[in-house]
Amino acid sequence: MITLLDYGAGNVRSVVNAIERLGETVKIAVTPDDILTAERLVFPGVGAFGNMMHHLRQKAFIEPLKVYLQSGRPFLGICLGMHALFDGSEEAPDQPGLGIISGKAVRFQTDLSVPHIGWNGIRAKQPSPIFNNIDGDERFYFVHSYHVVCDDPDAVLTTTRYDGSFVSAVQKGAIVATQFHPEKSGASGLKLLESFIKGEDVAVLPPADATVDLSRRIVACLDVRTNDAGDLVVTKGDQYDVRESGEVRNLGKPVALARRYFEEGADEITFLNITGFRDFPLGDLPMLQVLEETSRNVFVPLTIGGGIRDFVDRHGNHSSALDVATAYFRAGADKISIGSDAVDIVLEYLRTGQKTGESAIEAISQVYGSQAVVISIDPWRVYVSSTDAVSHHVIETQIPGPEGENLCWYQCTTAGGRKGRNLDAVTFAKACEELGAGEILLNCIDRDGTNSGFDLELINAVKSAVSIPVIASSGAGSADHFEEVFTETKAEAALAAGIFHRREVSIDEVRNRIDDKSVSLPSKIMMVRLLIKFTGSVGIHQTQGKSSESCGHPG
């Protein structure tokens, strides 16, 4: 029996699912006594450090935890569950940690993107029972903005490279804690978790010398909606138009398809509830069920988007965006993605110049951490003849417009590409970062479903404006396009839908093509350069600085 400490924030369901998958039962600690009497305790800290310590204090868990940790019984901390062991964190300097290991968590100081998100290697510094069946050259899933600085060198179990080396796991007696998420690290993570659960007592050093660094992520995306027959299906648009001969395209069932992508090796899976802007997700229970069922069998990160906003139902009941996000996290999501509501939030933020602390972006990132908040941008290209024509971020383009223009900007849209808004993608992304978002999912309506390759100019424009990770999306037609986007831009991840759904390109094929493309760490500069190829036609929506709000794109 594993006792799991759930202080009420974030996705503990994944950890429960992973443990149950390994044949063990889980008891959730709800009282201090549950901690004191535990035989084997797992603490999957999720969210923000201050919020976590506040909840632990409120539930009177601090003292029992200290007693447990000093008792010599097995303990596994994950992510914030590792930070909690230290004296404190820069993330919330007024909230002391448990003080079991000397040191504290500090924010990454780097030119690389923060949060550090993705699959990275570990370098073992000492033997451990959790390394049974681990080769040493596996990658594990990380998602964090803070890392621990450990003052006790004997407690360092592994280090990981990201602009220098940081401590990615610690061990002190029977206490083990990892910065990475074993429950989200596929087969390798499950092996590690299994060693802890089984109580392996032989400490081993992994045989291989790890040389792997952070890899570029391959994300499979499932656009989900109810079709006209009332079935929840995975669909796929051409420039966001998901209907063919009047019918919503049906490319499969969400849970089954997500499982297929996990088994085929996707690094991450994203569900977008594409009609969420008009439905209320908490009324749309199928999406919660999809997450619950998926997270039972899929052990890589899950993102869910669509309809995350404040909502008042027809009886006058109010649900906040935070309530919606909470329901998704508890159903098994690791990250939520906000689209339309984020545009409204940013337009208001730019108008007033004030952060309210209450917008969905701020509220969710304060509770769950910025790494849990993705912003989905749905822009299309607008050509202009001069930079003065609009007050937006204009770029030079190698793809001339219909009148031969070599300047354009990227207009944000809402409601599934139905409504053009008076906001450009670069300004939008920057403002979202300021408000606390942790990642950008950068779609491109012109390229969506065209198989013509990612819009590299858009990706470069946004990527160079923000310091949070960017997932390039829309237009992937081949493994070459993944290689191209990882060579020609600094996007940390690339997403595809159509080619994976239709089995035109496999995840394996993409992986083999990009295998040597770890994210450029300081000592690892990529030498490969490819010619930019612009194939296929690019949809053109508007020209000449039509910068006001506009309607009319098919969705």
In the complex, the smallest distance separating the C-beta of residue 208 from ligand 1PR, rounded to whole angstroms, is 35
Which one among 128, 326, 474, 542 touches ligand 1PR, defined by CB under 6 A?
474
Is residue 378 annotated as a catalytic residue, yes or no?
Answer: yes
Q: Is residue 218 within 8 Å of residue 137, measured between CB atoms?
A: no
Kindly state whether residue 104 participates in binding ligand 1PR, applying the rule CB under 6 A.
no
Which one among 267, 439, 448, 457 touches ligand 1PR, defined by CB under 6 A?
448
Neighbours of 548 (CB within 10 A): 9
CB-wise, 304 or 408, nearer to ligand 1PR?
Answer: 304
Q: How many residues does the chain have?
A: 555
> CA geometry: angle at 50 spanning 311 and 41, to 5°?
100
Kindly state whether residue 449 participates in binding ligand 1PR, applying the rule CB under 6 A.
yes
Kindly state whether residue 542 participates in binding ligand 1PR, applying the rule CB under 6 A.
no
Which one is catalytic: 6, 91, 138, 183?
Answer: 183
DSSP string of 510-536, one letter each residue:
HHHHHTT-B---TT------------S
Helix (H, G, I), strand (E, B) or coil at 187: helix
Neighbours of 323 (CB within 10 A): 16
Which one is catalytic: 284, 378, 424, 488?
Answer: 378
Stretch of 73-81, 203-211, 468-476, 511-519 contacting ligand 1PR, by CB under 6 A: 468-476
Kindly state whether residue 545 participates in binding ligand 1PR, applying the rule CB under 6 A.
no
Q: Where are the beta strands (DSSP E) in 425-526?
A: 439-442, 470-473, 493-496
In the complex, the smallest distance separating the C-beta of residue 338 from ligand 1PR, rounded to whole angstroms, is 5
Which one among 496, 505, 510, 514 touches ligand 1PR, defined by CB under 6 A?
496
Instruction: From residue 28, give the alpha-carbon distance in Å to each of 12, 66, 367, 487.
Output: 10, 18, 21, 46
In the complex, the smallest distance separating the C-beta of residue 496 from ligand 1PR, rounded to whole angstroms, is 4
Residue type for position 544? Q
Stretch of 100-108, 146-154, 443-451, 507-515 contacting ligand 1PR, by CB under 6 A: 443-451
Number of residues that bind ligand 1PR (CB under 6 A): 35
Q: Is residue 495 within 8 Å of residue 488, measured between CB atoms?
A: no
Residue type for position 246? G
Taking CB under 6 A as the rule, which mask of x and - marks residues 211-250 in contact with ligand 1PR? ----------x-x------------xx--x-x--------
In the structure encoding, which two tokens stand for residue 492, read together? 């940390």
Cβ-in-10-Å burial (0-12, 13-18, 19+) of 503 comes to exposed
What is the distance between the alpha carbons of residues 289 and 285, in angstroms, rounded to a whole number?
6
Kindly state whether residue 272 participates in binding ligand 1PR, applying the rule CB under 6 A.
yes
CB-wise, 213 or 341, nearer to ligand 1PR?
Answer: 341
CB-wise, 438 or 475, nearer to ligand 1PR?
Answer: 475
Is residue 221 annotated as a catalytic residue, yes or no?
Answer: no
Cβ-in-10-Å burial (0-12, 13-18, 19+) of 272 comes to buried
Kindly state whether residue 319 participates in binding ligand 1PR, applying the rule CB under 6 A.
no
Sites for ligand 1PR among residues 377-396 (CB under 6 A): 378
Kindly state whether residue 339 participates in binding ligand 1PR, applying the rule CB under 6 A.
yes
Kindly state whether residue 274 participates in binding ligand 1PR, applying the rule CB under 6 A.
yes
Is residue 412 annotated as a catalytic residue, yes or no?
Answer: no
Is residue 147 annotated as a catalytic residue, yes or no?
Answer: no
What is the distance between the alpha carbons of residues 47 and 364, in angstroms, rounded to a whole number?
9
Kindly state whether residue 305 participates in binding ligand 1PR, applying the rule CB under 6 A.
yes
Is residue 183 annotated as a catalytic residue, yes or no?
Answer: yes
Kindly state whether residue 498 participates in binding ligand 1PR, applying the rule CB under 6 A.
yes
Instruction: From residue 397, give the alpha-carbon distance in Å to each of 17, 127, 285, 378, 537.
Output: 48, 54, 43, 19, 15
Where is 117: in which H helix or E strand?
A: strand 116-121
Which residues are tagged catalytic? Answer: 79, 181, 183, 223, 378
Q: Which residues bind ligand 1PR (CB under 6 A)?
A: 221, 223, 236-237, 240, 242, 272, 274, 276-277, 305-308, 337-341, 376, 378, 416-417, 443, 448-449, 473-476, 495-498, 555
